[in-house]
Amino acid sequence: MPAANLPLVFLEPLARSDIRYMVTGSVAAILYGEPRMTHDVDLVVDLDETRVGQFVAMFPSTEFYCPPREVIRSEIRREIHGHFNLIHQASGFKADIYPVGDDPLHRWALERRHPERLEGVDVWIAPPEYVILRKLEFYRDGGGQRHLRDIRRMLDLSGDGIDHVSLEAMIHERGLAGPWEVVLSGRV
């Protein structure tokens, strides 16, 4: 599978399932902005403990590393910041999985996700406002400049499709005005 299609190793099984999910992070930023290389795909997944077996079965151990079910259940039980990884063994490509939990921003974004067709597969993409907010948070929490560059490219290429009023309000609610000003100044 060509590198550009690697996210599909995780997205195709999810697209065939009834588990709600959305693509976020770099892959979503690329769709809203400018192409660049990425080494993983970030997915917000609406999992509860009753669906762990179904989820694990979608990623067979002959092709994927998947953490033990109890680890997944433990991460699902976290109110916020739950996280685990899947790894496609043949390519080494990784999926960062973020269970929805009680995170209000995850819930807000899941209700506003939209379908996109990638290489013939219908997948769900997080709204651009969510992608921007999470990238600002990652930057604030010690992430690199690439997060701010991704946001700048998103604004340049998809600015008309972004709800700037809601975005600005959420930026200020979350204390992200500093990095946001850097993005707006063009110093990235």
Reading the block at residue 129, the tokens are 């406002």
Residue 1 included in any domain: no
- CATH number, position 35: 3.30.460
SS3 category, 131:
helix
Residue 2 included in any domain: no
pTM over cut 0.75: yes
SS3 category, 58:
coil
Domain range for 29: 7-126
The total number of structural domains that make up the chain: 2
Q: Are 110 and 155 in the same domain?
A: no
Residue 111 included in any domain: yes
pLDDT of residue 35: 85
pLDDT of residue 115: 97
Q: Are 89 and 153 in the same domain?
A: no
pLDDT of residue 2: 46
Residue 134 included in any domain: yes
pLDDT of residue 144: 86
Q: Are 46 and 119 in the same domain?
A: yes
Determine which helix (DSSP H) or strand (DSSP E) holds 104, and give its type and residue range: helix 104-110
Q: Which residues contact 58 (CB under 8 A, 6 or more apart)?
A: 13, 14, 16, 17
pLDDT in tens, the chain (188 residues): 444 588 999 999 999 999 999 999 999 999 999 888 888 999 999 999 999 999 999 999 999 999 999 999 999 999 888 999 999 999 999 999 999 999 999 999 999 999 999 889 999 999 999 999 999 999 999 878 999 999 999 999 987 899 999 999 999 999 999 999 999 998 88
Tally of CB atoms within 10 A around 61: 9
